Structure 1
Amino acid sequence: MGRMVSFTSPRLASVIDEDSRPLESDEVRIATLYSGISAGTELTAYRGTNPYLNKRWDEDRRLFVDGSTSFEYPVNGWGYEEVGEVTEVGSAVTTVAIGDVIWGTWGHRSETIQKVDRAEKRILDKGADPRIGIFSHIGAIALNVVLDADIHIGETVAVFGLGVPGQLVAQLARLNGARVIGVDGVAARRDLALELGADEVIDASAGGVAERIRELTDNRGADVCLEVTGNYAAMHEAIRSVAYSSRVCVAGFMQGDGVGLRLGEEFHHNRVAVIGSQISGVAPALRHRWDEYRLQRTAIDLAVAGRLQVTPLISHTMPLEQGREAFELLDGAPRDVLQVVLDAKAV
């Protein structure tokens, strides 16, 4: 019998039992070591604001439509930042061994069963901190933002939002040759961004962000702005901050109506391009070479090599059995936390 986190209704998470089953010959059983909580996407399901809970996603037409929903409560095993250790292998498995550490996506649960052809591609390097494994998907999301942004050496990039994805985006933009300006209203996040290599930081709560960015760029504006807050006001400020005929790359999961966007102002007059970055695909020019697995693999390899710093982003580690308290913390005090990790080994 396993355990998993279930959203039973809006803003109510519980840890419940989950049945285990025997392995097929081509499968492996993985005991979860750590599971990271996404403070963006996951909270939309926890809070009940996710469009899948209010509309139905029509896959053929790629439209949200009224009249039904894609899923409903309880929402079981949500989550996409997991790492675990192989505890059992099927009779036909030869490429994965008991004790191998596997990274991937299987939700906040104490164990998972995976096909060997999936698991064998996700074995973490021996000796690497296993917590690196929880950053495969969020790292892929961040890398996808940087690829969508088409950053060039010597350009100035402003990153709006220095939560976990923003911190990763800022590091990756710098690896891509950019001068990075981080924007956030939380002092601890700005300080961490500087420690991890950002060139400048700006206090969003003080106002005048676009003006400050133009001061730092000889009044030109940032070559590209990366929005990873999920906040419409921040998106509007990113539009104000970017140079003429430049782009804003939006990765934040916006909720509800676009209050705060004034598209008749800088967006219109400065010919700003707004690009949506979402992990379901990559930029068309890269599609023949990049896919989601390559994004994930690259993020993990960079972290293992120490070029992408991920473990400093972990602010809280709590037992899986405290899943309810973990989501209450993220929902109620988001400025006080960064990456919350559920430890599936702790009792």
Structure 2
Amino acid sequence: MRGIVFRGDCTLELATFPDPTPDVGEVVLEIKASGMCGSDLHFYRRPAGSSVPSVIAGHEPCGIVVAVGKGVVGPHARIGARVMVHHYSGCMGCPDCRSGWPQMCRTAPIIVYGTDAHGAHAPYMKVRADTLVPLDERLSFEAGAAISCGTGTAWGAFERINLTGRDTVAVFGQGPVGLSATMLAKAQGARVIALDVDASRRETAAKFGADAVINPLDGGVPDAIRELTGGRGASVALETSGAAAANRDALDSVSPWGTICLVGIGSEFSLSLGGYLRTQLRVLTSWTMSVQGQRACAEFIVERKLDLDALFTNRWRLDQAEEAYQAFDRQSGGKGVFLM
């Protein structure tokens, strides 16, 4: 089979690999949809030769179980089952792993599919059976791919925040994670202020239910948010863009006792504690979601009949990989996905 491998310097290869066979405790999936994630761009853009992993990319897998290894039990691991993948694997015996957070494992090296082991940008993918999460028949494979990372990341952040319908949340960045956050927050009854420098993404955010949209390039973001909130500020700010300026604006846009949750990768910023100590702000980080959170996110989307498929603006074949990532690198529009 052939799979996408990032080679650095914004290049990739559709390389040839043997078809996978399951070992003990593993299954093989026939991939139906494999989402493109913003974190892919860190590997895509990395300088060539700087330890770019030579593994198949793609950490938003969704498909059907087609082969089962020895020792595998459970209804989600049967041949023909529609499944998502929680794309991390740890020791699976420590408290973090057993509570559904293998990415927090401190006992064994963490495996991230698509980075440390072959991912889903290929026709088939081998994973540990305990990473499988069932995919409801009412969800498309594309939706399952989104929930497996991007949309699930927004859900996980709101779980950390304890978002309620009483909140006003400013979502910085309206890429796939930010747009998912806008959709999920509205479905939970919150008021949403969506921010992005890209006009098409602001337009999509409005269609997803944002109560107001802001272009950060216009300047004065904290003042604009306070004007929309009667001078108080947002109760919650979710930063998904990974831009240092957005982190700063998020800190300056929330009300006293407010919460800032940082999700976007890649930025660095500093702050003077003296300037924020008396605001009683709560600053959180959030790293994707738990296994249980991924399943809860899927159930919520089904129950609320959310049109998660509307998140996708680009659907690609594997042989269009070069064009797909060139388009994705422009960071405009919605989410891309490879369909097999």
TM-score normalised by the shorter chain: which range applies? 0.7 to 0.9
Q: Do the aligned residues in 2 keep the contact of 1:160 with 1:228 (CA within 8 Å)?
A: yes
Q: Do the aligned residues in 1 keep the contact of 2:175 with 2:331 (CA within 8 Å)?
A: no
**CA 1:202–1:85: 2 relative to 1, 3 Å:** same
Q: Do the aligned residues in 1 keep the contact of 2:20 with 2:28 (CA within 8 Å)?
A: no
Corresponding residue for residue 152 of structure 1: 164
**CA 1:12–1:210: 2 relative to 1, 3 Å:** same
Q: Do the aligned residues in 1 keep the contact of 2:25 with 2:72 (CA within 8 Å)?
A: yes
Separation (CA, whole Å) in 2 of partners of 1:237 and 1:265: 17
Superposed, 1:284-323 pairs within 5 Å as 292-323=290-321
> What does the per-residue CA deviation read over 1:269-308, in whole Å, with 9 as the maximum and x for residues that have no partner?
74543222223xxxxxxxxxxx710111112222333444
Separation (CA, whole Å) in 2 of partners of 1:29 and 1:3: 15
Superposed, 1:208-287 pairs within 5 Å as 208-255=220-267, 257-258=268-269, 263=272, 267=276, 270-279=279-288
Corresponding residue for residue 46 of structure 1: 44
Separation (CA, whole Å) in 1 of partners of 2:170 and 2:230: 15
Corresponding residue for residue 14 of structure 1: 13
Corresponding residue for residue 151 of structure 2: 139
Separation (CA, whole Å) in 2 of partners of 1:166 and 1:44: 18
Separation (CA, whole Å) in 2 of partners of 1:240 and 1:23: 51
SS in structure 1 of the partner of residue 192 of structure 2: strand
RMSD: 2.7
SS in structure 2 of the partner of residue 76 of structure 1: coil
- Offset, 1:79: 2.4
SS in structure 2 of the partner of residue 29 of structure 1: strand
**Number of aligned pairs?**
304
Unaligned runs of 5+ in 2: 88-112, 114-118
Q: Do the aligned residues in 2 keep the contact of 1:313 with 1:338 (CA within 8 Å)?
A: yes
- Offset, 1:83: 0.9
Matched, 1:4 2:3: yes
SS in structure 2 of the partner of residue 316 of structure 1: strand
Of 312-321 and 4-13, the range deviating more from structure 2: 4-13
Corresponding residue for residue 103 of structure 2: none
Counterpart residue identity of residue 9, structure 1: G
Q: Once the two structures are aligned, what percentage of the paired residues are identical?
A: 29
Separation (CA, whole Å) in 2 of partners of 1:159 and 1:278: 16
> What does the per-residue CA deviation read over 1:240-282, in whole Å, with 9 as the maximum and x for residues that have no partner?
2111242211111124x43xx6647964674543222223xxx
TM-score, length of structure 1 as denominator length: 0.78
Separation (CA, whole Å) in 2 of partners of 1:217 and 1:21: 54
> What does the per-residue CA deviation read over 1:87-122, in whole Å, with 9 as the maximum and x for residues that have no partner?
334577673444332211342222112344544xx2
TM-score, length of structure 2 as denominator length: 0.80
Q: Do the aligned residues in 1 keep the contact of 2:154 with 2:178 (CA within 8 Å)?
A: yes
Q: Do the aligned residues in 1 keep the contact of 2:36 with 2:60 (CA within 8 Å)?
A: yes
Q: Do the aligned residues in 1 keep the contact of 2:235 with 2:257 (CA within 8 Å)?
A: no
Unaligned runs of 5+ in 1: 55-71, 280-290
Q: Do the aligned residues in 1 keep the contact of 2:170 with 2:195 (CA within 8 Å)?
A: yes
